[in-house]
Chain A
């Protein structure tokens, strides 16, 4: 088999932060090559370099044997390198055919008049190569996520892609859709396309891929043939040390019940949710994307409408209809999307920390500046928020430090219950450990903590109990002691 892509000695830093150092990666024609590593290991940076979004500081890239310098995505496209992002780049209001040819519409000569017939025919052809039944005139927004992915793959094919990078393609798919996707991927492999498969799901990788490369903290750990390796070995390559180290130990005795949720239902996303969390306890919520994990939090917090069900805080029923109500009952919510829902990016670190509760002179509404200043200084010190000045705009901070600002905002309210949705997304490994420490500290102080996470090692590492969601319902509850990634996955995928 011929080598399609050969990357060697790749290095990249952003300012003082080194993201990749001396990384090698090779892809052959007709292979499915898994690229693994924890969040922040450098996978996406490496792929952004291959697709021309970033330029490497050092190293070389050869495509089909020829040294190339990929300066922008257009150039990557011309070399036959296509990427399928986790967030699909489709325009929902346009049809399948219109999306396929977006930006390079077929026209009648140079008239600028669309040749709709030809585009429809070509679209049909590409789709039939994938053996999927899709109407080229269907509006993309009306398709399922799985079908939309097929449109993305067809677009890559229409570009004559020889290299196809897929980033977490199954994150939002149902079992059946995953099977269909895998069939298409294998078909592409048989046609000689090289596929880079980025995923966290071990089982998928072992079922689908030919080789696997692992990155850790920006360094290349190694490449193995799937046939010659084991799951344990891959995990060890990824983590590089004992799991115990990553998740600081917590020895806290659980107190009285802090939060109880009875038969919680929202408008169609979740139903029949029952659980309780005691003081000092950490409950993990696991499940696939779209399984309703975030919806539980949003409904609990009064952001989504609660159709039925009751919420109890410290044994008393909490009537929560809007976030301010939830806060009144001592419930805090660290949202999954820091930038869109957690922070006011244009405001300073100080203003963000005190957003939920500005210290005022009595009930006058006049801000007590001295009190605010000392409060902010305490938070920065306690949570080790690395910022040169509390007056800097919060957007100038790194992901981990931004997350700590969000945490500080909630800690100021002295919450009794704190819900954290993907608390370490986009946070580097060092920052993660600090956030786990903060979670432990909260538990120690008697807060009931609920952590929603897509990272199974994280869920296993920090929770006392794990609630697993499947398609809006509770698939089961596991004690962490007896749980494994496999047992969680089994429940999360609907356990057959």
Chain B
């Protein structure tokens, strides 16, 4: 049994070992990789995918999937930018955007629980709806005029003139979400619902409520990512975030969370997101063509999941 405990730990640490290994290789191959500036830059690039992937972790742990995250990102960003452009207080507009994201997520949760529909189907549909609404709202054009110091800070600011704000936001969100999953009754219920929904319901877990909360969290975090992106681009693009759901799912899966639900951890997701980010950065530094980058990224995901399966046996 002690052997299996060690094996389990190794299995859990697999993604981290992969990340460290990748960093070592890149440090050797490129002089520019292992610099404070570059590493902070990587983390800032990672932060948007990481925030979405944190929410996706909750969703996947509960046995679901959320394909609408990219569209929520775009619509929330557009709403916030639109409000600010029409003179609303930037802080208010920011919170409105976040609330918007949480509401869209809650709508997903409601449709899934009360409508008894598959998460894949519901979020596939809402992905299209939310994207369509973003296009309607913006008329298909970028929304500009978001010049506020507060909002600018969100994506472009630095703490102590060194650490980018998005990185700070990512780590705060990570800390809070880790605590929720690990130390609260709600977090316990996320795992239980994903592990055995029927047994959870019979045990008195408010399964529907838990699921709606989960999708609302996912929506909220997507909106947060959307605001950071809007701030960085200094405008909201109606087509922003297209395909982000797949990057987020990749980060979650790379982190060792089971797509079947009930098993996994958010630390893994952070590592998974970093892994994808470092790989992107490294391939850029090594001047690999962006066409080949896609091939390599896909192969890495396949390899990682394959290794994970092996180790799990």
Contacts and interface: CB of A to CB of B under 8 A. Distances in A.
B256 to A, nearest CB: 13
A206 B195 CA distance: 46
A323 B204 contact: yes
A351 to B, nearest CB: 6
A343 B186 CA distance: 18
Nearest to B205: A355
A367 B185 contact: yes
A365 B204 contact: no
B9 interface: no
A315 to B, nearest CB: 23
Interface string B175-214: 0000000011110100110011011111111100000000
B199 A365 contact: no
Contacts of A347: 191-192, 195, 262
Contact of A365 (B184, B196, B201): B184
B161 interface: no
A356 B195 contact: no
A365 B202 CA distance: 20
Contact of B203 (A340, A345, A356, A360): A356
Nearest to B258: A346
B202 A301 contact: yes
Interface string A357-396: 1101000011101000000000000000000100000000
Given A301-B202, A347-B262, A365 B195 contact: no
B186 A346 contact: no
Contact of A327 (B196, B204, B262): B204
A329 to B, nearest CB: 11
Contact of B201 (A323, A366, A388): A323
Contacts of B297: none
A150 B192 CA distance: 41
With a 10 A CB-CB cut-off, give which of B199, B201, B202 has the most chain A CB atoms: B202
Q: Mostly helix, strand, loop or mixed at chain B's interface?
A: helix
A413 B205 CA distance: 13
B204 A324 contact: yes
Given A355-B192, A366-B183, A344 B202 contact: no
Interface in B251-283: 262-263
B295 interface: no
Contact of B196 (A345, A357, A358): A345
Interface residues of A, number: 30
Contacts of B299: none
A344 B1 contact: no
A128 to B, nearest CB: 43
Contacts of A360: 184-185
Contact of B206 (A324, A335, A341, A369): A324
A155 interface: no
A474 to B, nearest CB: 25
Contacts of B199: 335, 340-344, 355
A356 B204 contact: yes
Nearest to B188: A358
A333 interface: yes
A388 B1 contact: yes
A108 B184 CA distance: 63
Contact of A323 (B191, B196, B202, B263): B202
A33 interface: no
Contact of B202 (A303, A351, A388, A413): A303
A306 interface: no
A409 interface: yes
Contact of B195 (A345, A358, A369): A345
A402 B205 CA distance: 20
Given A346-B191, A367-B184, 14 more contacts: A322-B201, A341-B199, A342-B199, A344-B195, A344-B262, A346-B195, A351-B188, A351-B192, A356-B203, A357-B204, A358-B185, A360-B185, A365-B185, A388-B1
Interface of B: 1, 183-186, 188, 191-192, 195-196, 198-206, 262-263
6 contacts: A324-B206, A344-B192, A347-B192, A347-B262, A358-B185, A367-B188
